[in-house]
Amino acid sequence: MSTDTIAAIATAPGRAGVAVVRVSGPEALAIGERITGRQPIAGEVRFARFLDRPRRLSTAIDGDRVAVTPIDEGLLLTFRAPRSYTGEDVVEFHCHGGAVTPRRVLEACFSAGARLARRGEFTERAFLNGKLDYDQAESVINLIDAKTVRAADAALAGLSGRRANELRALYTAALDASTRVEHALDISEEELPPDFLPETRRQVEALAAAVGQALRKANEGHILREGALVVLAGPPNVGKSSLLNVLLETNRAIVSDVPGTTRDSIEEWLDLDGWPIRLVDTAGLRAAGDAIEAEGVRRSEELIAKADIVILLMPADGGRPHSTALGGDRQPSSGVLIDVTSKCDLGRGDGLNVSARTGEGLAELRQAIVAALERRAGDVTDRETADAFSASGLAALCAAQKALADALGTAVAGDLVLCGNALRRAADGLGELVGETYSDDLLENLFSRFCVGK
């Protein structure tokens, strides 16, 4: 249990009708009473004036007396531990919004004994007090950051605890398997049942398959949270900007018959069947004529290399196969390549035929992007986890999957010592996700993504 009391503005800054200042910790109720002059009562919404720090005034007539300055009036909500978001005593001041009033209420909380909360500290306390497990805590920030309905639904599913129950079942299974093997090491091989090793292999195989499915769901959640990078690539004047505009249903990019109009990348968000997409129009790929165009081409190549999906546009008379159009150094490092013949109203070719002018092929292109994202969600490698997903539970899941692969290999070889060690590593990795074990780095990576008031 924390010994200090924290406070922060829990609502977004700016002009608004209402703002919420949240206080959590052992002095929360006392701070609520000092600021309102009223005793906070759990489960009761109380209207109150919010008062600035009391100060002593001295006059010849009245002598010493206490004067307070009203700074606002609003609602006081009280939650007693452990029946609160953080598991601690919590009070909330619902005041008027804007730039001044919430800050004055927050400063009054500081004067009354609170300190400013760190980023994500309210949710971190909820995690440490057992109100949320790791997956639920991550789902909180995913719900806040959701850009599509599908992303919000996925985060809500995690917040409800359904995924947490699945992860806890995996942790229990890994722990049982580890305990079973470790127990076998304490007895002689002659006393082991004849089917011990085959049964161990079957148990590890089933567990590895279940972890693989959980990893796929986690990877899909990463894409829903961060958005998939979809890059429009190809030579100049092939119709990339026109396709960007028609997919966005707005004139975002300048369209011209003059080759090389786009000299830099243009990025916009797109909701495609519930998938949040970072759609990027890039400079045309060709030998650059000046330094500015060369920089545009270089940036295009960087985006192509890290894209989840590259939509490669080529004219019908491109003169070479789509697969070679990007060149050796321009291939996406691990993404999906979709070949498109653009301006198909002027001529048809290989790959998907699309016309931004007539709309032909646009529905098929959207379907191809969604299908590619479905495949992408199921494609997780150790390199991707290390490079891109270290800030989420994917790293722990991937470590558990690798440990289970080691356990299976050593079980096949009959080495119970190494098999038991690998199963213990798998259980430890899964234990991080259900709050049985956790590292400071894991928590820092998660809660640093939160805002101060959450």
Q: Which amino acid is at 391?
A: A
Cβ–Cβ < 8 Å for 236, 260: yes
Instruction: Of 46-50, 194-198, 306-310, 374-378, give the range with the top mean pLDDT.
Output: 46-50
Q: What DSSP designation does 176 have?
A: H
Task: Give the Cα separation of 93 and 48 in Å (integer).
Answer: 9
Task: Give the Cα separation of 177 and 404 in Å (integer).
Answer: 11
Cβ–Cβ < 8 Å for 306, 334: no
Q: What DSSP designation does 330 have?
A: G
- Output 119 or 299, whichever has higher pLDDT: 119
Task: Give the Cα separation of 377 and 309 in Å (integer).
Answer: 12
Per-residue pLDDT, 63: 46
Per-residue pLDDT, 140: 87
Cβ–Cβ < 8 Å for 46, 128: no
Task: Give the Cα separation of 86 and 344 in Å (integer).
Answer: 58
Per-residue pLDDT, 87: 95
State yes or no: pLDDT of 454 exceeds 80: no
Q: What DSSP designation does 40 have?
A: -
- E-strand stretches of 283-369: 309-314, 336-341, 352-353
Cβ–Cβ < 8 Å for 139, 16: no
**Both structure tokens of 303:** 């985006």
Task: Give the Cα separation of 101 and 95 in Å (integer).
Answer: 7
Task: Give the Cα separation of 373 and 271 in Å (integer).
Answer: 13
The sign of the dihedral angle between the CA atoms of 410, 413, 415, 420 is positive
Span 323-345, mean pLDDT?
Answer: 70
Among the listed residues 295, 318, 357, 358, the one whose alpha carbon sits nearest the alpha carbon of residue 234: 318
How does pLDDT run across 408-452, given as a tens digit for each residue?
Answer: 888 888 888 898 899 999 998 888 777 677 667 667 777 777 887
State yes or no: pLDDT of 43 exceeds 80: yes
Where b means 16+ CB within 10 Å and e means fewer, 384-408 reads bbeeebebbbbbbbbbbbbbbebbb
Name all domains of the chain by residue range, CATH numbers in brackets.
Answer: 6-117 (3.30.1360.120), 144-224+383-447 (1.20.120.430), 227-377 (3.40.50.300)
Task: Give the Cα separation of 85 and 70 in Å (integer).
Answer: 29
Read off the pLDDT band of 1 (50, 70, 90): low
Read off the pLDDT band of 180 (50, 70, 90): confident
Q: Which amino acid is at 222?
A: H
Integer Rg of the chain from CA:
29
Cβ–Cβ < 8 Å for 120, 454: yes
**Neighbouring C-beta atoms of residue 301, cutoff 10 Å:** 18
Q: Which of 26-40, 131-145, 307-321 has the lowest mean pLDDT?
A: 307-321
Cβ–Cβ < 8 Å for 251, 245: yes
Per-residue pLDDT, 57: 41
Burial class from Cβ neighbours inside 10 Å (0-12, 13-18, 19+) for residue 140 reads: buried
Helical (H) or strand (E) element with 283: none
State yes or no: pLDDT of 22 exceeds 80: yes
- pTM beyond 0.75, yes or no: no
State yes or no: pLDDT of 328 exceeds 60: no
279 pairs with which residues across the strands?
A: 230, 268
**Which of helix, strand or coil describes residue 97?**
coil
**Which of helix, strand or coil describes residue 252?**
coil
Between the alpha carbon of residue 173 and those of residues 35, 47, 176, 200, 434, the distances in Å are 51, 51, 5, 12, 13
Per-residue pLDDT, 55: 44
How does pLDDT run across 155-164, given as a tens digit for each residue?
Answer: 888 888 777 7
With vertex at residue 377, the alpha carbon angle to CA 374 and CA 382, rounded to the nearest 5 degrees, is: 150
How are the residues of the chain apportioned to helix, strand and coil, as percentages rounded to the nearest 5?
A: 45, 20, 35
Q: Which of 256-265, 328-337, 370-379, 439-448 has the lowest mean pLDDT?
A: 256-265
**Neighbouring C-beta atoms of residue 76, cutoff 10 Å:** 24
Per-residue pLDDT, 144: 86
State yes or no: pLDDT of 263 exceeds 60: no
Per-residue pLDDT, 265: 74
Cβ–Cβ < 8 Å for 223, 376: yes
Parallel, antiparallel or unpaired: strands 352-353 and 336-341: parallel
